[in-house]
Structure 1
Amino acid sequence: MRLIPLLAFALAAYALAAFISPAMLTAGIVDLTLPSGAVWSFNLGDVIVAVGLVLLFVEILKATRTSVGAALDHALSMLVCVAALLGFLLLPGLGTSDFLLLFLMTLIDVIAGFTVSLMGARRDIGYGGWPGDGNQ
């Protein structure tokens, strides 16, 4: 379970809702009147994006692991990112701003995962300096 990219669940939930009933994504769940008088509407697409943000945070925490499975987790995250990009570009139901934001979250997950892993690997490898410079 630790190897499964969690953002795949948010993408799947959005895709499922988009293909079952696209109107379900934009129908207001909550409409609140703010003190300014503006009406703020929160819909299912917004809920899925908000959940995606929480899952992105968890994915970044997962990226700090330095286990053998971490490389597989990064590879699976890359596949999810590519699948999200293809879905956004090729499937009409997924060509929305909400899905674009979910795709960008997967892209950030991939970049952050590789960056954190590289920083950890660089820290783990003791680079020696030039002879005589005191960094050996």
Structure 2
Amino acid sequence: MINNKTEYSWPANFPEGIPALEETVPAEGWVYRLARTFPPTQVDFLPHREEKPNYPYNKDQIPLSYGVSVWTKLDKIKQVARNYPYPEQYGNWHTVCGSLCPELGVIPKELTMSGHVTLWVQEGAKPHEYISHKVEE
């Protein structure tokens, strides 16, 4: 594992202090994501604020909105997909999985019990090349 002193280059639209490096660690671990296409592309890994530019974030959600949501538990991502049964929501999406690596960016030091993880992707990283294995339902 790379130490937290790794030099990262964040996208130009990230405000100063996002992500909070003292509260993060280099990305690692097996994760799942819902992708519009298979194989997934860069578009399948946009930060929430780029997918939903008019979404009203509260103060605590702002740092998370610059990240990409991934899940450590397959049953939790299946639950997310079931909550949105219409095709225009998640009905025709694919569940993909793969292993995070420090070169992609950082994740929170403290992981949630829900299995949700925010991945702050550094400039030029290509998470779709790492999280690209199709999960057969």
TM-score over 0.5 (shorter chain): no
| TM band (smaller chain) | under 0.3
**TM-score, length of structure 2 as denominator length:** 0.22
* More RCO (CA 8 Å, sep 6+): 2
Higher strand share: 2
Q: Radius of gyration: which is bigger? A: 1
